[in-house]
């Protein structure tokens, strides 16, 4: 497994535990699991859509679908969701300051 042995994995686990704490680790795992599940579903959906349509979508539509799916998956991860919410608030403040 990438040349990582038991001692290295234990050290990584301890560092993660110290950084995030016991309460945040299950939340992060749940968020990552949901994101992976959503990615698999999206991949299956896109492959089945391509087969049923028989032709490719316009690149602009495909990009918007991919970006919306990526945003949806990212919002399932606790830290990323908070960062994205903060970015949205900052963008709103910038718009208000421009006008």
What's the CA gap between 41 and 16, in Å, rounded?
28
* More confidently predicted of 66 and 13: 13
Taking residue 32's Cβ as centre, other Cβ atoms within 10 Å add up to 14
The percent of residues above 90 in pLDDT, for the chain, comes to: 6
The answer on pLDDT for 55 being more than 70 is no
Whole-model pTM?
0.42
Per the structure block, which two tokens stand in for 58?
Answer: 């316009």
Confidence of residue 77 (pLDDT cuts 50, 70, 90): confident
The per-residue pLDDT for 58 is 52
The per-residue pLDDT for 25 is 86
The per-residue pLDDT for 52 is 62
């Amino acid at each position: 497994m990438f040349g990582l042995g038991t001692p290295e994995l234990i050290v990584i686990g301890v560092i993660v535990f110290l950084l995030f704490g016991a309460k945040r680790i299950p939340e992060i795992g749940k968020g990552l699991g949901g994101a992976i599940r959503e990615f698999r579903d999206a991949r299956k959906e896109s492959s089945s859509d391509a087969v049923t349509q028989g032709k490719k979508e316009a690149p602009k539509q495909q990009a918007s679908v991919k970006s919306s799916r990526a945003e949806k998956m990212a919002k399932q991860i606790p830290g990323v969701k908070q960062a994205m919410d903060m970015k949205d608030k900052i963008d709103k403040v910038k718009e208000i300051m421009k006008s």
